[in-house]
Amino acid sequence: MTLRDDVTLPSGAHLDSEALRGQLTDAADFVVVGSGAAGAVAASTLTQAGFRVIVLEEGPWVRTRDLSGDFARSTSSLLRGAGAQFTFGRAGLTLVQGRNVGGTTTVNSAIAMRAPAEVLDGWGLGPSLDARALEPHYQALERAFEVRDSTEVAGEHNRLFERGARALGWQAAPTRRFASGCEGSGACLTGCRGGKKLAMGVTLIPDALRGGARLYSSARALRLSTAGGRATGVVARLPHGTLTVHARRGVLVCASAVQTPNLLRRSGVRSRWLGRNFQCHPGFSLAARFDHPVRMQHGVTQGFHSEHLSKSHQVKLESLSLQPELMAMSIPAAGRALTAQLAAWDELLVWAVVLKARATGRVVDLLGADPVLFTPDRVDLLRAREGLKALTRMMFAAGAREVWPNVHGLPAVLRSADEVQRWDDAPLDPRAYPMVATHLFGTARIGRDARDSVVGQGLECHDLARAWVLDSSAFPTNLGTNPQLTIMAVARLAAERLAS
């Protein structure tokens, strides 16, 4: 499957908008907004079917050869807002979104998990979008991307996760990934410098370009152009001009659950559900110190997970590897104390609780920005607290010398399994918990009726014909699992239906 991004592409296939000037126009059968999991799959599928496709990506194309292990440089070039994007509400939830060719697939951990069938079937959409409809697309993608686990390069932080879970009699399993050739460099979050992670920028985007598609990078879609109630193209802002792309057959919006709703608003879509129903998977990290080297930088970034509490508390437990700059956010210390803690870097690890939150929020339009209003509710915090308590037990069962809760109101250090019950005293105020979310859903939800949804069962906007939403904005609920594979499967299903 690997089609490296440094291979020779046809002349004119990629246009870096940084080098363009003036008022430009172009045309295609379909215009795809976004080059992440949904956009890349749609572009590749439609190109293979013989259609002319133009992809617009707001961020730059950072080639594998130009990726850097330097944290500040990587975040500034690969992430929206250099990683400093937060929700508004009682919780300062950090939103991590890729802003580059490949989108968030460039900076995630390449996890390939199917959505639970009960979640898909629970959407009530019948054969248009249920587990049975997605099954052949899951299978095709898993084969094409050689999805499998990476236990041969797991690293100590992943082996300890498995050991801790098994010691307690809990289920733990290797995590299946889009990285069949993974070398265990632990660098997923700053981009895979070996090109082994099969992100969209090294696979389906080059594949589409070699098949005849065209990509404009650094081109921000401002609005869809319309005529007679139909989408007819996209107007994009370039660093030194504008681009108008005419779409003969339609526009596929794959801009993410944060950016998609306001793009549709600016295009005249007036559904009352647009921007509402924002859902996510808040992540809570927990650090520990061991008496022997762990060396998080060696091994798969996320190689093991446990669903021990998935049904009872809606949380997934995960191994995790972080760079020192991110690790510092998981340590309850500052100044000299933080420096002293980080001095034991080789002996540290961090694991995470990922919550299928039940709270919902909104994406609003504010002076061209996309602020997100969201606060986890009390039940969400109760479930997250139970997950952190379980991780603490696992850490001590795996041999941790100390566990470091990073929650206001708890001791900075727990030194034995006898102190695990201290978690029962942790506050249920969301301000006490640092949180991060990369899985975002629901702001242009699919439904049978325009009165309670933005897009119909074919993912076409109720209010704007020939404008389809293929990203996780359309998902009526969050999934409880990593969404990349399901986003790709839905996009493939929809693109094949359009092609036929």
Q: Kindly list the catalytic residues.
A: 439
For residues 299 and 289, give the distance between their C-alpha atoms in angstroms, rounded to a whole number. 17
Q: Is 417 exposed, middle or buried (0-12, 13-18, 19+ CB in 10 A)?
A: middle
Cα 255–Cα 256–Cα 258 angle in degrees, nearest 5: 110
Residue in the structure block whose two tokens are 């206001």? 408
Three-state secondary-structure class, residue 434: coil
For residues 330 and 484, give the distance between their C-alpha atoms in angstroms, rounded to a whole number. 25
Which two structure tokens, joined as six digits, stand for 119? 């979640």
Asked if residues 37 and 104 have their Cβ atoms less than 8 Å apart, the reply is yes
> 226-241 b/e with 16+ CB inside 10 Å = b?
beeeebbbbebbbeee
Which two structure tokens, joined as six digits, stand for 92? 């300062």
The DSSP result for 201-244, as a single string, is: GGTHHHHHHHTT-EEEES-EEEEEEEETTEEEEEEEEETTEEEE
SS3 of the chain: helix, strand, coil, percent, to 5: 35, 25, 45
For residues 337 and 348, give the distance between their C-alpha atoms in angstroms, rounded to a whole number. 15
Residue in the structure block whose two tokens are 């008022």? 23
Overall residue count recorded for the chain in this entry = 500
For residues 45 and 41, give the distance between their C-alpha atoms in angstroms, rounded to a whole number. 6
Three-state secondary-structure class, residue 289: strand
The DSSP result for 366-418, as a single string, is: BTTB--EE----HHHHHHHHHHHHHHHHHHHHTT-SEEE--STTS-S-B-SGG
Neighbour tally for 205: CB within 10 Å:
32
Neighbour tally for 122: CB within 10 Å:
13
Asked if residues 138 and 114 have their Cβ atoms less than 8 Å apart, the reply is yes
Query: Which residues, 6 or more positions from 312, have their beta carbon under 8 angstroms from its beta carbon?
Result: none
Q: Which residues pair with 355 in a beta bridge?
A: 315
